[in-house]
């Protein structure tokens, strides 16, 4: 089914495959002048041999020109033609400089402009789609980028240069350009536009960093914006298409450098620091016992104490990601890179320095309110003025930059949405339940299918499988409705973290300041549309004295039961926070998306239509994942420090991947059916009818899913019009094979992987990927601060078990239940850290690209009118969806998104402005 791997035509510094011996001498001869700096400006030099079959005339004024330019005239098509029927064409090269420049940057820019002006900075070759009968490769002409001064543009940081060519009249249409950067440092190429051909203008979108020749002697290949399946590739571009893919794959050896564009796989083996401390040893996440998706390979050397663990690069240094995956300047300066680094390297250490001496519990709820009303004073002893002002320059919306006194700053948080209109909403059962449908983690609730509720864990290790939540107990809470009737009508639901968490409870509870349970919560959906909790089961591992170590809690009406019920709900919420962050957020979106991105770059040419479709949904993900490995999910990082699982956080994530993750269940309709939250109904949109109509995540999500599906199906049908085109697409088949066998290799033998034989198969796979990167991530990410910014509503960890009547602390609980409750939550330091991180993760960047929108830099992404019209239809559909969601939020009958003090459900509104908005669907996982 798959073609043999292509071999490079000439030696690449990243490819292990040598050039064919018959071409070696010719290649060396063709490149000798090129790499020597072009002391003599020759005309055309074939990329693949030494035969000079075509001569390009370099810009007039070059004293070393070998061939003079005959007088040119315009033909009827507007092309410039010389008297010998050669065509004069012009390439406009657009380069982006730094937006905010230092004096050094400005001086270097002037020097680069001068070097470009005299034709010594950038070499450009046009490659025709037509093959040269002599060289057997695409026809080629070459020139230097020229122009003494860059042309002015609307933006001072965008400059343009010209390169002029004379090409034979039979040159054909250019399909690629080769760029060689003779400068000592890289530059950012936005696009190249070629004028003078009958098809003019011809766009070559790049939006890429062009490495310096001193770092990598090979030229960069930029293709025009025409999409081609592999079998449709013009003859003149076939070699370049193959060569470009080989250059991106690398050879799997060596440590990657910052200028590299190499995409390869590695396991999660860089989270621990075994050379520093035994307590920072972390397992390698790979293999049968601890499976996990693969990450992007960096190639750093192993640690001294563990040859299987990769050494780490600690803050403030950056981990390697392929050069074009790094944040662009606006993103860096205004948000993620700069902001997260400032957060991790300056704000959190400042919080720790000011609160560590009093890392104590909140004594009363008013102390939590002070975080929003009064703020926290952070003292700075930095003498260096630049460093001293880092806190003040942090672009955190919740950071009120106010100088209290000399060397002090005030950290003041915004009021989270969950309490902005109703400070006491978090106390109510209906709000606790509503967040399972319309909160930041609405993806774990499922229909209860029957009694008894049973565990699938080994009873020899984990005790009797039956839950203590019984049919008889539930019937006492149903006001005369039988359990059978409630189950038949799908009105009983469960939030079940028992089997996922119980294997880890003993280890977690052995950590200092951690006490947790495995939990089950049963809910009832009433006739008036209200979901309410009926019972909570909290389980500990069995002991000889207590083989059935499970406690049952129900809401009561006396003061003691009321407070214990509140503690039980807090433990359920804490479990929900951990599962949300480590499984639903990090694993199912960030980590699982990374192999798709790596495989797309390695196996799909940038001229492949599926590459063009997926490209906006891959932006920034590798960079944000690298930052997470360095600061969030690493040993001793924020997640371990501030969330219940502690040092076992990624062990838990791996166990969830092993037991629950399936690609075919990541599609929204499949997930809803699996959880019993929807049933098949051909008369309904997407063929589904929701069991709970007022399920905001699912109701809005299906609108977005349907729009993505329609767009993808139209796109795929356009390019794969014949039945066999999917199976015969060698790049596409290699891409899907690599995702399964390399990116998710620990699950490669699972039977549930979808086949890729038809355009329907392909549309389903792509719709799932785009949904995960856009709608799914938005729904479970951008509500983190709006829902979790108030610690009692969603505690990231619990530090005490619920006191029992025979406990010594039970008397203290009776005397001061508020103190028991607050001392069970995170400390002031932990809470303040989590709030800062949640605020950062919930914030949109000013340069965010939202679903259905095309960034200005990518406006020439494809040269296909039918596809552009399909995309316009997709964008219009999303605008309609936005209006539908606004209408739903005003519907008084939908009580999960409308009512007194009830925040509207906006997480799946497609558009947003910058900041913590609680809405907006970015194209990609970029935070």
Q: Which residues belong to the active site?
A: 585, 590, 777, 781, 927
Residue with tokens 């046009």: 126
Q: Kindly compute the dihedral angle of the four CA atoms of residues 185, 186, 187, 189, in this order, to the nearest 10 degrees.
A: 150
Give Cβ neighbours of residue 303 (< 8 Å, ≥ 6 apart): 273, 274, 275, 309, 310, 311
Is the CB of residue 735 less than 8 Å from the CB of residue 762? no
Angle at 206 between CA 203 and CA 211, to 5 degrees: 140
- Cis amide leading into 452 (omega within 30): yes
- Which candidate, 263, 318, 260, places its Cα nearest to that of 618? 263
Q: How far apart are CA 78 and CA 584, in angstroms?
A: 57
Give Cβ neighbours of residue 702 (< 8 Å, ≥ 6 apart): 668, 669, 672, 685, 686, 688
Say if residue 714 is exposed, middle or buried (CB neighbours under 10 Å; 0-12, 13-18, 19+): middle
Q: What are phi and psi of 262, to 5 degrees?
A: -105, 125
Is the CB of residue 601 less than 8 Å from the CB of residue 617? no
Is the CB of residue 182 less than 8 Å from the CB of residue 121? yes
Start-end of H helices in 720-783:
730-738, 759-771, 777-781
Which helix (H) or strand (E) is 283 found in, with range? none
Strands 492-496 and 122-131: unpaired
Is the CB of residue 502 less than 8 Å from the CB of residue 457? yes
Is the CB of residue 549 less than 8 Å from the CB of residue 540? yes
Q: How far apart are CA 603 and CA 724, in angstroms?
A: 19
DSSP 3-state assignment of 843?
A: coil
Which helix (H) or strand (E) is 867 found in, with range? helix 865-889
Say if residue 735 is exposed, middle or buried (CB neighbours under 10 Å; 0-12, 13-18, 19+): buried
Three-state secondary structure of 704-723: HHHHHHHHHHHHHHHHCCCH
Q: How far apart are CA 820 and CA 697, in angstroms?
A: 34
Work out the end-to-end distance of the chain between its first and last CA atoms, rounded to an integer number of angstroms: 38
Say if residue 776 is exposed, middle or buried (CB neighbours under 10 Å; 0-12, 13-18, 19+): buried
Q: How far apart are CA 85 and CA 90, in angstroms?
A: 16
- Which candidate, 786, 906, 796, places its Cα nearest to that of 842? 786
- Output b/e per residue, 592-621; b: 16+ Cβ within 10 A: bbbbbbbbbbbbbbbbbbbbbbbbbbbbbb
Q: How far apart are CA 613 and CA 395, in angstroms?
A: 33
Give the chain's count of helices (H) and strands (E): 31, 22
């Amino acid at each position: 089914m798959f073609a043999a791997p292509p071999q490079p035509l000439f030696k690449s510094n990243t490819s292990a495959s040598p050039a064919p011996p018959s071409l070696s001498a010719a290649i060396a001869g063709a490149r000798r002048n090129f790499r020597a700096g072009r002391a003599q400006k020759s005309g055309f030099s074939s990329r693949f041999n030494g035969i000079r079959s075509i001569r390009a005339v370099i810009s007039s004024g070059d004293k070393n020109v070998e061939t003079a330019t005959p007088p040119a005239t315009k033909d009827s098509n507007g092309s410039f033609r010389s008297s010998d029927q050669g065509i004069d064409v012009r390439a406009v090269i657009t380069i982006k400089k730094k937006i905010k420049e230092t004096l050094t940057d400005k001086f270097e820019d002037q020097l680069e402009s001068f070097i470009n002006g005299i034709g010594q900075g950038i070499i450009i070759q046009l490659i025709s789609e037509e093959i040269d009968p002599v060289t057997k490769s695409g026809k080629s002409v070459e020139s230097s980028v020229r122009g003494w001064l860059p042309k002015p543009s609307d933006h001072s940081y965008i400059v343009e240069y010209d390169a002029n060519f004379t090409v034979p009249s039979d040159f054909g249409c250019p399909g690629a350009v080769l760029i060689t950067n003779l400068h000592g440092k890289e530059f950012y190429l936005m696009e190249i536009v070629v004028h003078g051909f009958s098809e003019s203008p011809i766009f070559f979108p790049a939006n890429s960093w062009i490495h310096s020749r001193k770092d990598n002697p090979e030229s960069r290949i930029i293709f025009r914006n025409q999409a081609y399946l592999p079998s449709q590739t013009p003859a003149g571009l076939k070699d370049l298409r193959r060569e470009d893919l080989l250059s991106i794959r690398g050879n799997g050896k060596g440590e990657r450098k910052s200028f590299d564009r190499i995409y390869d796989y590695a396991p999660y083996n860089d989270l621990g620091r075994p050379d520093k401390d035994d307590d920072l040893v972390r397992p390698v996440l790979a293999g049968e016992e601890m499976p996990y998706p693969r990450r992007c390979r960096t190639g750093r050397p192993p640690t001294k104490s563990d040859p299987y663990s990769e050494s780490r690069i600690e803050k403030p240094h950056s981990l390697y990601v392929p050069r074009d995956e790094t944040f662009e300047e606006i993103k860096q300066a205004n948000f993620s890179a700069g902001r997260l680094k400032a957060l991790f390297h300056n704000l959190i250490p400042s919080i720790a320095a000011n609160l560590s001496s009093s890392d104590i519990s909140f004594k009363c709820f008013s102390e939590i309110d002070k975080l929003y009303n009064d703020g926290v004073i952070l003292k700075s002893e930095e003498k260096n003025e630049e460093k001293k002002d880092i806190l003040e320059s942090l672009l955190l919306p919740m950071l009120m930059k106010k100088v209290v006194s000399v060397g002090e700053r005030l950290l003041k948080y915004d009021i989270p949405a969950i309490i902005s209109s109703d400070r006491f909403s978090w106390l109510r059962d209906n709000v606790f339940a509503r967040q399972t449908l319309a909160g930041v983690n609405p993806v774990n609730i499922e229909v209860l299918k029957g009694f008894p509720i049973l565990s699938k864990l080994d009873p020899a290790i984990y005790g009797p499988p039956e839950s203590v939540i019984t049919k008889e107990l539930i019937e006492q809470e149903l006001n005369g409705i039988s359990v059978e009737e409630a189950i038949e009508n799908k009105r009983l639901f469960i939030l079940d973290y028992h089997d996922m968490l119980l294997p880890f409870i003993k280890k977690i509870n052995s950590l200092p300041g951690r006490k947790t349970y495995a939990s089950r919560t049963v809910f009832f959906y009433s006739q008036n549309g209200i979901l309410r909790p009926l019972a909570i089961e909290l389980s500990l591992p069995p002991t000889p004295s207590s083989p059935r170590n499970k406690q049952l809690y129900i809401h009561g009406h006396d003061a003691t039961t009321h407070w214990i019920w509140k503690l039980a709900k807090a433990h359920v919420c804490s479990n929900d926070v951990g599962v949300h962050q480590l499984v639903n957020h990090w694993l199912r979106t960030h980590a699982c998306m990374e192999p798709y991105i790596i495989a797309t770059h390695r196996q799909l040419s940038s001229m492949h239509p599926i590459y063009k479709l997926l490209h906006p949904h891959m932006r920034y993900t590798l960079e944000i994942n690298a930052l997470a490995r360095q600061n969030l999910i690493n040993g001793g990082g924020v997640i371990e420090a501030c969330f219940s699982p502690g040092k076992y956080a990624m062990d838990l994530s791996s166990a969830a991947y092993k037991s629950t993750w399936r690609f075919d269940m990541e599609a929204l309709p499949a997930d809803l059916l699996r959880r019993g939250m929807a049933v098949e109904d051909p008369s309904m949109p997407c063929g589904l009818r929701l069991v709970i109509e007022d399920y905001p995540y699912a109701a809005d999500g299906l609108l977005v899913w349907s729009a993505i599906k329609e767009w993808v199906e139209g796109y795929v049908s356009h390019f794969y019009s014949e039945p066999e085109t999917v199976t015969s697409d060698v790049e596409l088949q290699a891409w899907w094979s690599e995702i399964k066998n390399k990116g998710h290799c620990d699950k490669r033998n699972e039977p549930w992987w979808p086949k890729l034989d038809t355009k329907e198969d392909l549309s389903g796979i792509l719709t799932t990927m785009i949904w995960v990167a856009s709608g799914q991530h938005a729904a479970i990410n951008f509500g983190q601060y709006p829902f979790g910014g108030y610690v009692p509503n969603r505690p990231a960890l619990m530090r005490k078990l619920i006191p029992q009547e025979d406990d010594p602390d039970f008397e203290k609980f009776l005397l001061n239940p508020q103190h028991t409750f607050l001392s069970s939550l995170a400390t002031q330091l932990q809470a303040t850290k989590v709030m800062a991180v949640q605020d950062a993760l919930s914030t949109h960047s000013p340069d965010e690209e939202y679903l259905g929108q095309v960034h200005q830099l990518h406006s020439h992404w494809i040269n296909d009118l039918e596809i552009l019209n399909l995309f316009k239809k997709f964008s219009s559909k999303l605008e309609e969806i936005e209006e539908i969601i606004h209408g739903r939020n005003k519907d008084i009958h939908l009580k999960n998104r409308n009512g007194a003090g009830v925040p509207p459900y906006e997480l799946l509104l497609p558009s947003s402005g910058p900041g913590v908005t609680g809405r907006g669907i970015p194209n990609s996982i970029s935070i």
